[in-house]
Amino acid sequence: MKVLVVGGAGYIGSHTVLKLKEKNIDTVVVDNLSKGHRKAVLTDNFEKVDILDKKRLEKIFEKYKFDGVIHFAAHCLVGESIKNPKLYFEENLNGLLNILDCMLKFKVDNIIFSSSCAVYGNPQFIPLTEEHPKDPINPYGETKFFGEKILKRYEEAYGIKFISLRYFNAAGADFEGRIGESHNPETHLIPLVIKSILDNNFQLTVFGNDYNTKDGSCIRDYIHVLDLAEAHILALNYLLDGGTSDCINLGTGKGFSVFEIIRELEKISGKKSKYKIGKRREGDPPILVADNKKAKEILGWKTENSGINSILESAFKWHTSPKF
Ligand SMILES: NC(=O)c1ccc[n+]([C@@H]2O[C@H](COP(=O)([O-])OP(=O)(O)OC[C@H]3O[C@@H](n4cnc5c(N)ncnc54)[C@H](O)[C@@H]3O)[C@@H](O)[C@H]2O)c1
């Protein structure tokens, strides 16, 4: 099997490439390195290509014969998407359309798409099942929602099969500390809490302590990046074995509050986090937790690395000794 990983130099993509390598699956990585890191790609088959450049993308499809595509590349900052929706609609959607065009031209029939719990918008019930109404509240979430619609229509018209994986909060790092999370700017809680512990000049802001939750802070579902990575391989094998297109949540089904994450990281590091309480951020639901039955039943997926200690210890190990 030969797999194209688009956005494979990024956080989740690079961990997926590592898993593919461990399973001896032939992998080609395409990334424009706008956000990703060449050093994060632990395989030799790397092509620095922007997926908005369709001619160059076609050359990659011409050069290799792929059995499937795993597509991670996107702009993914919610706040930026509200300020600059043009960038998000143009690039996230055209990127996907270019990949699909190449798949049609070169007869590649299977794609795994990075979606997000942002497709649901404000939860009407918890845990969120895949049937929960889809009503995204920012352009980022809308690009994921429209992406799923495009995939459905392309399947109906042209037979390209897809699995759209709706991630909750990706977290943690490779246990050997070879790769980890390195976004710039960083907006995710766990790296920011670790920064507030390790960097004397950085203070974390907790956005709101007056939510209707057990301790007043927001609750999120953290899923280990290696469990996410595994799900992509399971999903691709599922399609190659004749499985049907679907949208599937990836989360643990358990939620942790911001204050719980801070306390656990203080225990792991033996040091105090420096934080202040800020105002609530617009569009932050109090609780986001996945119903993950579908992933378990359809893909046989397990969340074996996603205990909160395993997530936080691997993240802390990476951030104390980042390689890029
Ligand atoms: N991190 C999370 O918690 C989370 C949650 C839900 C969904 N997602 C989705 O998962 C995917 C991966 O997220 P991540 O955290 O690994 O992000 P990331 O920014 O680390 O990785 C994205 C990669 O895509 C590359 N890229 C972007 N635009 C490109 C283009 N035009 N051509 C080629 N390469 C391009 C970037 O250089 C980067 O390496 C994204 O689609 C994101 O929306 C992430």
Domains of the chain: 2-170+223-251 (3.40.50.720), 189-219+254-294+303-320 (3.90.25.10)
**Whether residue 298 has pLDDT greater than 90:** yes
CA 259 to ligand 1 center in whole angstroms: 27
pLDDT at 283: 83
The predicted model gives 303-321 an average pLDDT of 98
172 Cβ below 6 A of ligand 1: no
| 11 annotated active-site | no
Instruction: State the Cα–Cα distance between residues 48 and 55, nearest whole angstrom.
Output: 13
- Per-residue pLDDT of 267-287, as tens digits, reads 999 999 999 999 999 889 999
Of 120, 105, 118, 121, which Cα lies nearest the Cα of 154?
Answer: 105
pLDDT at 282: 85
Percent above pLDDT 70 for the chain: 100
- Backbone torsions φ then ψ of 279, nearest 5 degrees: -70, 160
CA 165 to ligand 1 center in whole angstroms: 13
- Which residue among 11, 182, 188 is best mutated to probe the pocket of ligand 1, counting the most ligand atoms within 8 A of its Cβ? 11
CA distances from 118 to 9, 107, 128 (A): 23, 31, 11
Marked catalytic residue, from 11, 120, 140, 211: 140
Instruction: State the Cα–Cα distance between residues 217 and 257, nearest whole angstrom.
Output: 6
CA 206 to ligand 1 center in whole angstroms: 24
- First CA to last CA distance, the chain: 30
CA distances from 108 to 62, 99, 161, 282 (A): 11, 10, 9, 41
Instruction: State the Cα–Cα distance between residues 225 and 170, nearest whole angstrom.
Output: 5
Tokens in use for 79? Answer: 């706040």
- 3-state SS, the chain, equals CEEEEECCCCHHHHHHHHHHHHCCCEEEEEECCCCCCHHHCCCCCEEECCCCCHHHHHHHHHHCCCCEEEECCCCCCHHHHHHCHHHHHHHHHHHHHHHHHHHHHCCCCEEEEEEEHHHCCCCCCCCECCCCCCCCCCHHHHHHHHHHHHHHHHHHHHCCEEEEEEECEEECCCCCCCCCCCCCCCCCHHHHHHHHHHCCCCCEEEECCCCCCCCCCCEECEEEHHHHHHHHHHHHHHHHCCCCCEEEEECCCCCEEHHHHHHHHHHHHCCCCCEEEECCCCCCCCEECECCHHHHHHHCCCCCCCCHHHHHHHHHHHHHCCCC
94 Cβ below 6 A of ligand 1: no
- Per-residue pLDDT of 28-70, as tens digits, reads 999 999 999 999 999 999 999 999 999 999 999 999 999 999 9
CA 8 to ligand 1 center in whole angstroms: 8
- Which residue among 19, 31, 71, 144 is best mutated to probe the pocket of ligand 1, counting the most ligand atoms within 8 A of its Cβ? 31
Closest approach atom of ligand 1 to CA 183: 20
**Torsion angle of the four alpha carbons 244, 248, 252, 253, in this order, in degrees rounded to the nearest 10:** -120
CA 95 to ligand 1 center in whole angstroms: 12
Instruction: Please name the residue whose Cα sits nearest to atom 20 of ligand 1.
Output: 10
167 Cβ below 6 A of ligand 1: yes
- Which residue among 5, 12, 17, 38 is best mutated to probe the pocket of ligand 1, counting the most ligand atoms within 8 A of its Cβ? 12
| CA dihedral sign of residues 232, 77, 197, 267 | negative
10 Cβ below 6 A of ligand 1: yes
- Per-residue pLDDT of 140-162, as tens digits, reads 999 999 999 999 999 999 999 99
- Per-residue pLDDT of 221-264, as tens digits, reads 999 999 999 999 999 999 999 999 999 999 999 999 999 999 99
- Per-residue pLDDT of 82-98, as tens digits, reads 999 999 999 999 999 99
Mean pLDDT (the chain) is 97
Which of 44-53, 163-172, 192-201, 281-290 has the weakest average pLDDT? 281-290
Of 301, 312, 214, which Cα lies nearest the Cα of 261?
Answer: 312
